[in-house]
Amino acid sequence: MNWTVEYYKDKDGSEPAADFIDSLSNEARAKVFRLVKLLKDYGVSLKEPYTKQIKGKIRELRIKDSLGAIRILYFTYTGRRFILLHGFIKKTDKTPEREIEIAEKRMNDFMSRQGGKL
């Protein structure tokens, strides 16, 4: 059984990770979608260099592109689901804390509205 990948949707219906991916070039977007397909196919078995644990339940999809290091932060949710929370272009060696905080805030919002527990 394959995994499903969903976009986090805020209370207003916006999907910030989808908006970020849509803002990328066609080439970069294709690379992101290839990696999302691997995530669907391999689930939690997909490891580095494709994904990496960041903090707590937050993981990142790691895409190399001419723009730089594209990162999509996500977490695993019940029912074999991945929720894509946040995307950004990484400019430093270390993932900026601000980007992690955005993803954590969205994950907490998702969980509170889904009735789940962290």
CATH number for position 14:
3.30.2310.20
The reported pLDDT for the residue numbered 74 is 98
Task: Enumerate the H helices of 1-118 as residue ranges.
Answer: 16-23, 26-42, 97-114
Q: For residue 60, give both structure tokens.
A: 């990142």
Quick: pLDDT tens for 17-28: 999 999 999 999
The dihedral sign for the CA sequence 64, 29, 83, 91: positive
Whether 64 contacts 26, CB under 8 Å: no
Whether 76 maps to a domain, the answer reads yes
Residue 15, in any domain of the structure: yes
Q: Are 58 and 107 in contact (CB under 8 A)?
A: yes
Dihedral sign from CA coordinates of 102, 41, 79, 16: positive
Q: Binning pLDDT at 50, 70 and 90, where does residue 48 land?
A: very high
Query: Whole domain around residue 90: which residue ranges?
Result: 4-113
Q: What is the mean pLDDT of the chain?
A: 94
pLDDT in tens, 70-89: 999 999 999 899 999 999 99
For 72, the 3-state DSSP assignment is: strand
pLDDT surpasses 80 at 42:
yes
Q: Is residue 77 part of a domain?
A: yes
**pLDDT (tens digit per residue) in 96-109:** 999 999 999 999 99
For the chain, the domain total comes to: 1
Residue-level length of the chain: 118
Residue 58, beta-bridge partner list: 55
